[in-house]
Amino acid sequence: MYEERASRLAGAVVWSHGGSGDAARPVLPDGCMDLLWNEGRLLVAGPDTRAYVPEGAAGRWAGVRFFPGTAPAYLGVPAHELRDRRVELTDLWPAAEVRRLTGRIDAAADPVTALEVVALERAAGAGPPDPRLREVVAALRAGRSVAAAADGLGLGARQLHRRSLAAFGYGPKTLARVLRLQRALALARDGVPFAETAARSGFADQAHLARDVRELAGMPLSELLAGAP
């Protein structure tokens, strides 16, 4: 069973599941990166540009889903290096440190909270991410254009693109597309008709919405909603 809650780390979400039926459900692009624990393993899920279907994901899982753009500052790696990848944390941090942290989480009465504490400690030691990244996310979530978002921050198009690659794993246009998909899914899950969902989310029409959902989620919107938790 999948469960999630707000984290004590600003903007982050802490989640867990038992790895049965949830393991087969596709993970959709959302602009985020996750720190993952899976019974003796620590991994990092990079930013996705398409649906990711977990394979061999049995057992208990816990995750900290970082607010978009913040994980690279905490994990110490540019987001574009992990785009569409799941990597062992030992590929990013010293192996001895990862073994120590893994053992600590494995031995904890509540591995979910223990993983969250690891994320909090890492964030405290790394310092805060660039606050302008949150402004980028807020502008694009609100449906503003990439050009308007750049102008609002006083950045040129190339500057914003370079910062976006490092923070989000892809350019601002891709981030805007991913966040638009998330807006549409939220509306559709609330029962808003697809044509109205398309209009309110910023798509040209319902056909445009359908194409984007197929490309990013790998299935039609009706099928995606039928399998939603």
pLDDT at 198: 98
Read off the pLDDT of residues 103-124 as tens digits, 9 standing for 90 and up: 999 999 999 999 999 999 999 9
**Confidence class of residue 196 from pLDDT cuts 50, 70 and 90?**
very high
What integer best gives the mean pLDDT of the chain?
A: 93
pLDDT at 111: 96
Helix boundaries (H) for the chain: 71-75, 95-107, 111-126, 131-141, 146-153, 157-168, 172-189, 194-201, 206-217, 221-226
pLDDT at 18: 80
Q: Where are the domains of the chain?
A: 3-126, 131-226
pTM confidence score:
0.92
Question: How many percent of the chain have pLDDT more than 90?
Answer: 86
Query: Class for domain 131-226, per CATH?
Result: mainly alpha
Between residues 157 and 121, the one the model is more confident about: 121
Kindly tell me if the per-residue pLDDT of 23 is higher than 50: no
SS (HEC) of 20-78: CHHHHCCECCCCCCEEEECCCCEEEECCCCCCECCCCCCCCEEEEECCCCCHHHHHCCC
Q: Is 3 left (phi over 0), alpha (psi -120 to 50) or beta?
A: beta
Amino acid identity of residue 60, one-letter, is R
Give the three-state DSSP class for 196. helix
Give dist(CA 101, CA 115) in Å, integer: 9
